[in-house]
Structure 1
Amino acid sequence: MPSWGGKLDALVENKLTLSHDVAELNLYETFQRAQLVELEFSSPVLTSMLTGKKVMHIDELKPFDYLPGESLVLPANKPMKIDFPEASLETPTRCIALTISGEFIQQTVNHLNEEYPRTEPDEVWEVDVNNYHFRNGLEISLLIDKIIRLYRENNVMKPFFIHKSLEELIVRLMQTQARRVLIDQARNFMNTHRLAFVVEYIRNNLTKALAIDELSNQACLSKSHFFRLFKNELGISPIQFILQERIRLAKQILTNPAKSITDACYESGFNSLTHFSNAFRTIERISPRQYKQQLS
């Protein structure tokens, strides 16, 4: 039986559809291997993998693996072909497809631009639906789980809760996309974008004690304005970002067999082994020692 409930109508892409006035949730399960299964949606769609593996064929892109914990945003009427290399009755491939009204997306984008403008005057918030493939952050993972639960529960306030959760999902998605540009391509924009400049400044000074006053001065913004803009655009506070970057650097150091956990701690900007270990475990879900053991 399908884990979502209802009748099993097909072994490939068996679908349960749940409706809302601005969005439709499609729950898919596939129980046998298949290749080049065609799929297309009439509205912008966010798909998210739950279990199993797919191989996606979209336009002229090289086919890519699509795995649990990842999502894909596509525009309306975008054809795709899908392989299911591992699906079986015992280990079905499961995913969701959430189609959202283009008008609702634009209303949410307009509201965000009015209430929370971006850092630079010539930039606006927008949703990139051009084959956007990404790894879910914690906030988006929790939201996807929440939306699935809301669609399936019996609650007189369900339409209201879904509406608010969809708005949050759209905003979190825009923050994720903006964060990818600012973090992954910071060096390319550091001369034209103040936050990109600060991101590079943080990376070049991770071993120093970095205060908000210093970072806001680098961005030529007041402390409160800088803090608010940084969190709006990147979805995390400057302190959280510094911590993530230090852990990222520590992981690089730990890949060197000659380096110890103590080396990684102090060379990545921490001044306490206890703080380093706790921060590492919080972000990576394992201890530095376990991470080092996995590498070896």
Structure 2
Amino acid sequence: MDLSKKFYESRKLENLVENQTSYTLNNAALHIFETHEQADKVLLRFDKPVLASMLKGKKIMHLRDQQAFNFLPGESLILPSNEMMCIDFPEAQISNPTRCLAMAISEDKINNVLNRMNESMPKVENREWSLMDYNFHFTNDTGIYQILQRLLFLFTEDHPSKDLFVDNMLEELIIRILQTNSRKIYSDQSFKLSSSNRLAYIVEYIRKNLHNPLSVKSLSRKACMSESNFYRVFKNELGISPTDFINNERIKLAVSLLQNPEMSIKEIYQECGFESRSYFNRVFKRRKKVAPGDYQARFNVRA
């Protein structure tokens, strides 16, 4: 993710550790932090919920109730208001600075989006959308990456309607982040969710039956929902269609199986529930940007 030439021309470097350039609009403030020398235990806190996203370099994050973790380009972190961050910069240099954006979003804006989501995109089992109150660390998907790139441009653009432009992008960003969070909860913690939660049951069923044929029709029956309603609720809540979710889970399984020297490509795609090698190759390459055979070769596994 690149910053505009205008950003570099207008910023003023005053400190080597966490030098900050800020842009403030009605419902959000964008801060770009640049670090030009190694440092440990730098403290930072915002009085509003904040999205932090790495642009360049590496940070080591120390947050409450979590082990320290690497924070790398392409990754983001959602923090509640007044959350204290303790940050190490192990690789920052004058010639290769660490860069991160932090976008503080007004709670009124977030609540307005949540209210609209609960009215038009209701969850199953009468649950409501709400902002996560813990530190959510995730890898940006294509949609979130493109929104962040656009917001970087809009905040630094000299345009009389930039507040309106940014407001519209913020709404989409909030929705996509909440759907990403929901997808992660269902994928990683479905076994902890109530057995009466229909989507939790379906996600767990998918993960245990990837080798079997799976269709929207059969899954909607298991959820005791019509096909159209099942598809709508699934996509609203997880931000992805049932078919794409199934393929994502199958590719995750394929990635692990491709590292097994005892399995052939044919055995792998059949174990993952793909009907043909050509379809498996197409889906795998679309998601991993490399063919299964080439990925397998990296681990010296026979094709």
TM-score (norm 1): 0.95
Query: Where does residue 174 of structure 2 map in the other structure?
Result: 170
Is 1:225 aligned to 2:229, yes or no? yes
Query: Where does residue 264 of structure 1 map in the other structure?
Result: 268
Is 1:207 aligned to 2:211, yes or no? yes
Query: Where does residue 298 of structure 2 map in the other structure?
Result: 294
Query: Where does residue 71 of structure 1 map in the other structure?
Result: 76
Aligned residues: 295
CA distance in 2, matches of 1:216, 1:198: 9
Query: Mapping of 1:31-70 within 5 angstroms?
Result: 31-70=36-75
Per-residue deviation at 1:60? 4.9
Per-residue deviation at 1:295? 2.2
Q: 1:258 aligns to what SS in structure 2?
A: coil
Q: What is the root-mean-square deviation of aligned Cα atoms in Å?
A: 1.7
Contact 2:79 2:135 survives alignment (8 Å)? yes
CA distance in 1, matches of 2:48, 2:155: 18
Question: Match of 2:122, as an amino acid?
Answer: P
Is 1:120 aligned to 2:125, yes or no? yes
Contact 2:235 2:241 survives alignment (8 Å)? yes
Query: Mapping of 1:175-190 within 5 angstroms?
Result: 175-189=179-193
CA distance in 2, matches of 1:205, 1:162: 42
Contact 1:194 1:219 survives alignment (8 Å)? yes
Query: Where does residue 101 of structure 1 map in the other structure?
Result: 106
Q: 2:14 aligned to 2, 9, 18, which one?
A: 9
CA 132–261 in structure 1, closer or farther in 2 if over 3 Å, else same:
same
Q: 2:93 aligns to what SS in structure 1?
A: coil
Q: 2:260 aligns to what SS in structure 1?
A: coil
CA distance in 1, matches of 2:183, 2:215: 21
Aligned identity (percent) is 42
Q: 2:124 aligns to what SS in structure 1?
A: coil
Per-residue deviation at 1:42? 1.5
Contact 2:121 2:237 survives alignment (8 Å)? no
Q: 1:96 aligns to what SS in structure 2?
A: strand
Query: Where does residue 25 of structure 2 map in the other structure?
Result: 20
CA distance in 2, matches of 1:4, 1:282: 38
CA distance in 2, matches of 1:159, 1:22: 8
Q: 1:159 aligned to 163, 181, 193, which one?
A: 163
Query: Where does residue 3 of structure 2 map in the other structure?
Result: none
Query: Where does residue 248 of structure 1 map in the other structure?
Result: 252
Q: 1:27 aligns to what SS in structure 2?
A: strand
Q: 2:95 aligned to 82, 86, 90, which one?
A: 90
Structure 1 unpaired stretches of 5+: none
